[in-house]
Structure 1
Amino acid sequence: MQFAESSGVKLFVESTGTGTPIVFVHEFAGDYRNWDDQVRFFGRHFRCITFNARGYPPSEVPGDVEHYSQALAVEDIASVLRWAGVKDAHIVGVSMGGYATLNFGLAHPAMARSLTIVGAGHGSDPERHEQFLRDSGELAGRLVSLGMEEGIVHYANSTIRRRFKEKDPRGFATFNRQFAEHSALGSSLTTRGCQMRRPTIYELGERMAKLDVPTLIVTGDDDEPCIEPALFMKRTIPDARLWIVPRTTHAVNLEEPEAFNRVVSDFITAVDRQRQE
């Protein structure tokens, strides 16, 4: 096993293939294994770097909520790049990882060749933000009191997963089995330290308007909490394009891997071509 160190925490990292690097950043309910379809596809021509966030074994699980935050998630990506010995990379993130990808671009634009932000924005709606915080707090409590397998049942079967379950029952079952293998403590503290404290997409608007990194924003048309934030990002980030995927909910890379790989490949290839001109 290989580990990068970030702010005193060891992060499990895998690197596959050679060429221009792509760093994949997983969602709250996922881990590095969620990117298998992407690593197999992009690993033919790119260097694919996947890692587990802090709190997700075999990465270390700090026991203090202050060791979990949006800022630390951003610095963890930077630490992985430094560990890999690359000065910049294409950054691709889903949900929690999409938030981290956006904030990484804002904090370290010189290290980002491009940003692909997928399913980001849950909890940003001002009218639903308080409910999001209540739901997140309840989830964090259930995880430590009931354990992962029982504590995730409601979250894993929410409406933002329904198309995945319909389209690919076996893939959905694998996803939930892997989710249940996570650390209850790490997942609970990630919820409290990162999810519940991070700025909303709308609060980042002023900084996004100055972002000078090519950006692809992706959302499923049935991922209702993320549609308006996706439109806001498209309208705010100067060099942004938006892909809305029909009959798709949250984890687009898992629900529609072939389409996802094709669109992201076209995007990053175009970005690299433009950099060479």
Structure 2
Amino acid sequence: MRTVKTADGVTVHSESVGNGDPILFIHEFAGDHRTWEPQMRRFSRSHRCITYAARGYPPSQVPTDPAAYSQQHAVDDAVAVLDAHSVGAAHVVGISMGGFCGLHLAMRHPGRVRSLVVAGTGYGARPHEVERFRAECDAIAEVIETAGIAAFAEQYMSGPSRVQLQNKDRRAWQEYTRWVSEHSAEGSAATMRGVQRERPSLYALEAELAAIAAPVLVLAGDEDDGCLETSVWLKRVIPTAGLAVLPKSGHTLNVEEPGLVNTLIADFLHRVEAGVWGPRDPRADPGAITGFS
């Protein structure tokens, strides 16, 4: 375990295990460093695995200033974690909120990202959904503050893209729900308002995304409707992106289908480290239907 001091003085809890090429795991809004345990155990056998609790998520510090929560702060914190662990460039694996962070990290600090796995990423990204997404973020923050984090956890983890985990692995769902209930209400509400609500639409960043040169793997659940279409769009926009869609799966992919997700990530990392994961072959023309004209 290591306490990291961020650029603006916030303390962040981080953990590192294993040896080899580094992997940085970045969690989702409802998660924390513990939700990466299936991946930390698997990949620490061959890699140096680093994860951390984002600001606002104990044991990391919970800033009281709402201005301390933003997409920019999230990216800066990821850089601070890499710096604290003396890592130049890492394979970066992010889910949902962590996937957005990974994409912004690759756009703003390309030298720090050797490769990128983006899972369950897309909520609020489509332009026509931005205002609706922001309204839902406000509603979520209000529920957290009024009903309490425990009541919110039960409601949120029973949502349309999380019932898949509940149905497949009740024990994992109960554990995940307990973890959410242990989060800081203040930190979670501030994260929802500052990081989630205010982040730019990915569609407004198409040119920057298209410039990403690092190998990218996009993972999506076929029942995670808020992310599925954007995941396909990311595959088409990022030249190096590959896409895997998991059947009958929701949002919490790394916990819901840990074996399959680990296999997909392991194959991706193997191909990246072998130097054989490149951009799309120009002969694979996305504008063609049959290949004949």
TM norm. shorter chain > 0.5: yes
Matched-pair identity in %: 40
Match of 1:93 in 2: 94
- 1:44-123 pair list within 5 angstroms: 44-123=45-124
Q: CA deviation at 1:127?
A: 2.9
Separation of aligned partners in 2, 1:49 and 1:184: 25
Separation of aligned partners in 2, 1:153 and 1:81: 33
Match of 2:154 in 1: 153
Q: CA deviation at 1:28?
A: 0.2
Q: Is the contact between residue 123 and residue 225 of structure 1 (CA under 8 Å) also seen in structure 2?
A: yes
Q: CA deviation at 1:130?
A: 1.8
Separation of aligned partners in 2, 1:14 and 1:165: 28
Separation of aligned partners in 1, 2:2 and 2:145: 28
> Quick check: 146-155 or 176-185, which moved more?
146-155
Work out whether 1:200 is the aligned partner of 2:201: yes
SS of aligned partner of 1:160:
coil
TM-score by length of 2: 0.92
Separation of aligned partners in 2, 1:159 and 1:272: 37
Q: CA deviation at 1:268?
A: 1.1
Match of 1:239 in 2: 240
Work out whether 1:254 is the aligned partner of 2:283: no
Separation of aligned partners in 1, 2:249 and 2:205: 26
SS of aligned partner of 1:274:
coil
Amino acid at match of 2:74: A
Q: Is the contact between residue 125 and residue 225 of structure 1 (CA under 8 Å) also seen in structure 2?
A: no
Separation of aligned partners in 1, 2:114 and 2:39: 18
Match of 2:286 in 1: none
Q: CA deviation at 1:211?
A: 1.0
* 1:72-107 deviations in Å (ceiling 9; x for gaps): 101111110000001110000000001101111101
What's the Cα RMSD here?
1.2
Match of 2:3 in 1: 3
Q: CA deviation at 1:126?
A: 2.7
Larger radius of gyration: 2
* 1:33-78 deviations in Å (ceiling 9; x for gaps): 1111111100101000010000000000000111010011011111
Separation of aligned partners in 1, 2:73 and 2:168: 35
Q: CA deviation at 1:152?
A: 3.1
* 1:123-181 deviations in Å (ceiling 9; x for gaps): 12333322211111011011122210013333221101011111001100100000000
SS of aligned partner of 2:46:
coil
Q: Is the contact between residue 133 and residue 196 of structure 1 (CA under 8 Å) also seen in structure 2?
A: yes
TM-score by length of 1: 0.97
Runs of 4+ with deviation above 6 angstroms: none
Match of 2:131 in 1: 130
Work out whether 1:37 is the aligned partner of 2:38: yes
Match of 2:268 in 1: 267
Unmatched tracts of structure 1, length 5 or more:
none
SS of aligned partner of 1:241:
strand
Separation of aligned partners in 2, 1:179 and 1:204: 31
Separation of aligned partners in 2, 1:101 and 1:129: 20
SS of aligned partner of 1:127:
helix
Separation of aligned partners in 1, 2:109 and 2:128: 31
Match of 1:25 in 2: 26
Separation of aligned partners in 2, 1:230 and 1:41: 25
Separation of aligned partners in 2, 1:93 and 1:221: 18
* 1:1-51 deviations in Å (ceiling 9; x for gaps): 521111211110000001100000000000011111111100101000010
Amino acid at match of 2:53: N
